[in-house]
């Protein structure tokens, strides 16, 4: 049974995540309305950029980090059957991150940090924003340390045994986050913080963007790993099937973590500060990091196929119809995978050096990441919340029908929002602009798409409200019915007593990452110290 500390830590962290999420959804709808140029009274670049910066920070950093921490405490304690190591420290991490979030929110909401979630210099925000963001990250490092300590302790207590897959994935994500955030931490400590406090007058934009690129790709897999964890450890059981291969899942997590780090230059293809050879190297790595997703798609669909066939599905596709579509976790997985086909396809286009020139800095890019992050990834956050909220609160899930409606509307809304976004990008609409109206024929042709996006946003906003309503009604349900189920982890089709040590530990992979990072980022960073660079002056406001 789940203990009170875990219950509070998981609920506390996830509640912050979902409150941030709903606030950001309202901002998102305002942004599509404002940006369309169809409502003159809303026209305000100042408000727009304050809003879009807050929206991005809330979704990309606050929703994700708090969700991942809450879910991590839950998986660590249930998969290992162990209490949380040092709960006092866990709460200290939580409060540090929360205080950081509040500090960053002050300049964001007052228009003093309208630098978008990527905060690329030379646009400068108020120093409170950078300080707050730093604290948010420092708090999350505490979570990483707790996950790694629990993983190592369990291994010591259970020599020769295989670490449960859920904990293996969580610990790899913690390790990934430590490596990932190191890039932006270096950028903050050595470049941005001194510059924003006025200790330095100039900033090396090329070096700052290089260090941010170190973080920018792996961070997206930090967000994604909880979704894949659910695919592997919850979905097969929920569908009435088995985990197709425990070993393949471990390989997928390892490749995902190891190869997500040395490839960030695919965000810099169009930048001048890195040479094309380095970009090419990072491109090769980017294609390698797509393979664990293909492996995940294959094994998760295989688990679903087994489920469908066990339920009597026949023929090539007959098993799809016999899947338990009314199970929220299974439905979310199917919808998530459908969005992954197109979101991932877009990713491959982005990653292809030459084709990147076609879509870089256009509306295609937010189309890509809304589909694959807000779609594929966040729909699994919903499914996880629906699955564990009853376990954490001991209250049965409020209305399965509404839950299914919520998942469908999220999928439909996200498809309506992101398809026009992709098309607009191909039509040449830039990203990061506050209005699309230039009074010419080209921008007139954009209008029907803008209208569709406003509608998609409305569907999403309703769906997001419904999500929170369901969690709220579950937790504060007045009924006396007690939900006493424990979490059920999937069993492997061929359970193996032991796996090779490299599929059961982090040490070797840490070393591999260190070598790959030295190769892919060593010289590209060093070069800034070997040549004369011409810094841009800060133009803060």
Q: What are phi and psi of 431, to 5 degrees?
A: -90, 175
List b or e across 203-222, with b for residues whose CB sees 16 or more CB atoms inside 10 angstroms: bbbbbbbbbbbbbbbbbbbb
Q: Candidates 369, 387, 509, 521: give the one binding ligand HAS (CB under 6 A).
A: 369
Compute the residue count for the chain.
Answer: 541
Q: Candidates 341, 355, 442, 518: give the one binding ligand HAS (CB under 6 A).
A: 341
- Partner touching 294 among Cu ion, ligand HAS, none, CB below 5 to 8 Å by kind: ligand HAS
Structure tokens at 401: 């029908």
Catalytic residue among 431, 455, 483, 489: 431
- Partner touching 55 among ligand HAS, Cu ion, none, CB below 5 to 8 Å by kind: none
Residue placing its CB nearer to ligand HAS in the complex, 374 or 392: 374
Check binding of 350 to ligand HAS (CB under 6 A): yes
Size of the site for Cu ion (CB under 5 A): 1
Residue placing its CB nearer to ligand HAS in the complex, 24 or 79: 24
Catalytic site includes residue 368: yes
Q: Candidates 5, 15, 86, 118: give the one binding ligand HAS (CB under 6 A).
A: 118
Alpha helices by DSSP H, listed for 58-164, are: 64-80, 87-109, 127-157
Catalytic residue among 217, 267, 282, 422: 217
Check binding of 382 to ligand HAS (CB under 6 A): no
- Site residues for ligand HAS, window 269-288 (CB under 6 A)? 286
Alpha-carbon distance of 84 to 72, in angstroms, equals: 10
Which 3 state secondary structure label does DSSP give 33?
helix
Q: Candidates 248, 337, 412, 492: give the one binding ligand HAS (CB under 6 A).
A: 337
Catalytic site includes residue 217: yes
Catalytic site includes residue 221: yes
Q: Which of 10, 56, 167, 25 is nearest to 431 (CA)?
A: 56
Q: Which residues pair with 362 in a beta bridge?
A: 430
| Candidate ranges 16-24, 84-92, 370-378, 480-488; the one touching ligand HAS (CB under 6 A) | 370-378
**Contact status, residue 74 vs residue 90, Cβ threshold 8 Å:** no
Catalytic site includes residue 370: yes
For 186: left if phi > 0, alpha if psi spans -120 to 50, otherwise beta; the answer is alpha
Cα 457 to Cα 63, 288, 346, distances in angstroms: 18, 34, 21
Check binding of 322 to ligand HAS (CB under 6 A): no
Check binding of 297 to ligand HAS (CB under 6 A): yes
Q: Candidates 79, 103, 163, 340: give the one binding ligand HAS (CB under 6 A).
A: 340
Size of the site for ligand HAS (CB under 6 A): 34
Catalytic residue among 39, 197, 317, 432: 432
Burial class (CB within 10 angstroms; exposed 0-12, middle 13-18, buried 19+) of 462: middle
Check binding of 368 to Cu ion (CB under 5 A): no
Burial class (CB within 10 angstroms; exposed 0-12, middle 13-18, buried 19+) of 347: buried
List b or e across 38-63, with b for residues whose CB sees 16 or more CB atoms inside 10 angstroms: eeeebeeeebbbbbbbbbbbbbbbbb
Alpha-carbon distance of 169 to 415, in angstroms, equals: 29
Q: What are phi and psi of 492, to 5 degrees?
A: -75, 150
Check binding of 35 to Cu ion (CB under 5 A): no
| Candidate ranges 22-30, 43-51, 123-131, 335-343; the one touching ligand HAS (CB under 6 A) | 335-343
Residue placing its CB nearer to ligand HAS in the complex, 297 or 396: 297
Q: How far is the CB of 347 from ligand HAS (least distance, A)?
A: 3
Which 3 state secondary structure label does DSSP give 492?
strand
Check binding of 514 to ligand HAS (CB under 6 A): no
Q: What are phi and psi of 429, to 5 degrees?
A: -70, 125
Q: Which residues are CB-neighbours of 16 under 8 A, at least 6 positions away?
A: 62, 66, 98, 101
Check binding of 209 to Cu ion (CB under 5 A): no
Catalytic residue among 126, 250, 267, 370: 370
Check binding of 217 to Cu ion (CB under 5 A): yes
Residues that bind ligand HAS (CB under 6 A): 118, 216, 220, 223-224, 266-267, 286, 289-290, 293-294, 297, 301, 304, 320, 334, 337-338, 340-341, 344, 347-348, 350-351, 356, 360, 365, 368-369, 372-373, 377
- What residues are annotated to the active site? 217, 221, 368-370, 431-432
């Amino acid at each position: 049974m789940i203990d009170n500390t875990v219950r509070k830590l998981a609920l506390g962290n996830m509640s912050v995540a979902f409150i941030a999420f709903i606030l950001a959804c309202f901002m998102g709808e305002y942004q599509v309305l404002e940006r369309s140029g169809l409502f003159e009274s809303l026209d305000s670049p100042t408000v727009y950029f304050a809003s879009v910066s807050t929206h991005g920070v809330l979704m990309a950093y606050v929703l994700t980090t708090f969700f991942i921490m809450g879910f991590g405490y839950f998986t660590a304690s249930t998969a290992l059957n162990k209490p949380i190591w040092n709960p006092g420290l866990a709460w200290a991490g939580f409060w540090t991150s929360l205080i950081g979030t509040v500090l960053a929110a002050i300049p964001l909401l007052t228009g003093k940090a309208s630098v978008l979630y990527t905060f690329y210099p030379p646009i400068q925000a108020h120093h409170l924003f950078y300080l707050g963001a730093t604290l948010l990250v420092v708090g999350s490092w505490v979570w990483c340390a707790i996950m790694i300590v629990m993983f190592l302790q369990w291994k010591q207590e259970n020599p020769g045994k295989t670490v449960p897959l859920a904990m293996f994935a969580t610990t790899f994500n913690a390790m990934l986050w430590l490596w990932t955030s190191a890039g932006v931490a270096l950028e903050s400590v050595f470049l941005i913080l001194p510059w924003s406090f006025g200790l330095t007058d100039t900033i090396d934009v090329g070096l700052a963007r290089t260090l941010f690129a170190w973080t920018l790709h792996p961070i997206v897999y930090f967000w994604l790993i909880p979704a894949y964890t659910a695919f592997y450890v919850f979905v097969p059981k929920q569908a009435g099937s088995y985990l197709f291969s425990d070993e393949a899942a471990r390989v997928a997590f390892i490749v995902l973590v190891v190869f997500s780090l040395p490839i960030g230059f695919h965000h810099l293809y169009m930048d001048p500060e890195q040479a094309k050879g380095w970009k090419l190297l990072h491109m090769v790595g980017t294609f390698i990091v797509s393979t664990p997703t293909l492996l995940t798609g294959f094994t998760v669909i295989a688990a679903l196929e087994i489920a469908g066939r066990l339920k009597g599905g026949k023929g090539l596709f007959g098993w799809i119809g016999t899947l338990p579509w009314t199970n929220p976790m299974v439905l979310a997985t199917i919808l998530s995978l459908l969005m992954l086909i197109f979101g991932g396809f877009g990713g491959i286009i982005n990653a292809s050096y030459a084709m990147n020139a076609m879509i870089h800095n256009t509306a295609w890019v937010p189309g890509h990441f809304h589909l694959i992050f807000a779609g594929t990834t966040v729909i699994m956050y919903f499914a996880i919340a629906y699955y564990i909220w009853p376990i954490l609160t001991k209250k049965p899930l409020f209305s399965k029908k509404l839950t299914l409606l919520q998942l469908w509307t999220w999928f439909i809304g996200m498809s309506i929002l992101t398809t026009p976004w992709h098309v607009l990008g191909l039509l040449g609409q830039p990203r990061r602009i506050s209005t699309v109206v230039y009074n010419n024929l080209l921008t007139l042709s954009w209008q029907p798409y803008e209208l569709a996006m406003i509608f998609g946003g409305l569907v999403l906003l309703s769906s997001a409200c419904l999500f929170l309503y369901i969690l709220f009604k579950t937790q504060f349900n007045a009924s006396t019915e007690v939900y006493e189920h424990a979490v059920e982890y999937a069993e492997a089709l061929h359970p193996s007593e032991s796996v090779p040590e490299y599929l059961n530990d982090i040490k070797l992979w840490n070393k591999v990452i260190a070598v790959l990072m030295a190769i892919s980022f060593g010289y590209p960073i060093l070069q800034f110290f070997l040549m004369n660079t011409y810094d841009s002056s800060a133009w803060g406001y």
